[in-house]
Structure 1
Amino acid sequence: MSKRLPKFDIKRRLDDKVLVKLTPAEAKANSLLDDQSGGSYDQESPYVSLKYFNDSFECFSHWEKDELKDFSDFLQQLRDRTWKDVLSTSGKTSKRGLAYTPYDIAKVSDGIRRCFDEVRKRISDDITFFELRVNQNKLRVHGFRSKAAFFLVLLDREHRVWPM
């Protein structure tokens, strides 16, 4: 026979958890899966969030008109793919398309590392940062993934984070 918890213990345990009730439309808009999906977001289309964007490294105002058009095309490429598709563009020698490239932030310059460290302090030390190719020239974006979201942290129009 199981031991029953007093009502005040149950209430305290519920108070310790953050419970958010979303409508089905809100869950769909945020690409949040239902409990029966198995928890993988690899079949979801990525979307970009600027919540942790750091404009002290570079801002969109530094980009030329054609580069901004390339960024718009990049956003469309993300909408047209799943995370599984994005992850498959990674490779040591045969990168293609978005060229998903995870990296160790300990190997970037101090100024850039500080940008990433600020994000880690706000969220978690176990964030994996990566680069995505905006175009086939130098334009890159850097950030991290959480569920279906790509949190864009840095713009990199001159490929300065990881020089070519």
Structure 2
Amino acid sequence: MGSKKKKIPQSVIKGEQQSHAVKVKQHDVKIIGLVSDELAGNSKMGHLTPYVALKYFKSDWQCFSDWQHGELKEFSSFLGKLSSMTWQQVYDSSGKSSKRGMAYTSYKIDDVKSPGIKQKLKDVASKVSEDKTFFELRVNQNKLRVHGFQSQSAFFLVALDRGHEAFP
């Protein structure tokens, strides 16, 4: 009657995760917009075409249902413009005095003025990586903005900012 107890591996006890190679089919690489480490080098992968991913979207801050019909149309137009650009073109839209188009603006999360948006961004940063660069993009020339980060081709939209509250 004595049953032999199984030992739990130390790596599981310590919470260590093993790195697993993922096999990806070539057509998935194209669809998802992946680039290997060897091809990416140290560049920001500016030649890739952006798309929006909602995996980390925080609808409890602000939801699309909070936006007016015309604002939703502007967001649809924003998606079309973004997908017709490269990441390099998005980066090039930044600038202190001559922002244009997407007006890419990177920032430190601690500099965000709105406590609500700041907390949502911090929550996501703690899940993905503290060293990710967060930035805002301009949806229109007025106040509509979106906040998130880039990974490979994807722009991970984290927060909507209808009233430009992050940096009023």
Question: Which interval holds the TM-score relative to the shorter structure?
Answer: 0.7 to 0.9
Match of 2:23 among 15, 21, 40: 21
| Structural RMSD (CA) | 1.6
- Letter paired with 2:118: R
Equivalent residue, structure 2, for 1:114: 119
Asked if 1:131 corresponds to 2:133, the answer is no
Other structure's SS at 1:22 match: coil
Equivalent residue, structure 2, for 1:3: none
Q: 1:38 to 1:57 in 2, by over 3 A?
A: closer
Per the TM alignment, residue 138 of structure 1 is displaced from its structure 2 partner at its CA by 0.9
Equivalent residue, structure 2, for 1:10: none
Aligned counterparts, 1:94-109, within 5 A: 94-108=98-112, 109=114
Equivalent residue, structure 2, for 1:79: 83
Count of equivalent residues: 149
Per the TM alignment, residue 147 of structure 1 is displaced from its structure 2 partner at its CA by 1.2
Per the TM alignment, residue 111 of structure 1 is displaced from its structure 2 partner at its CA by 2.4
What is the identity percentage for the equivalent residue pairs of Structure 1 and Structure 2?
A: 51
Asked if 1:148 corresponds to 2:148, the answer is no
Query: Do the aligned residues in 1 keep the contact of 2:35 with 2:152 (CA within 8 Å)?
Result: no
Match of 2:71 among 67, 72, 76: 67
Unmatched tracts of structure 2, length 5 or more: 1-16
- Letter paired with 1:127: K
Unmatched tracts of structure 1, length 5 or more: 1-14
In the superposition, the TM-score normalised over structure 2's length comes to 0.83
CA distance in 2, matches of 1:161, 1:81: 25
Per the TM alignment, residue 38 of structure 1 is displaced from its structure 2 partner at its CA by 4.1
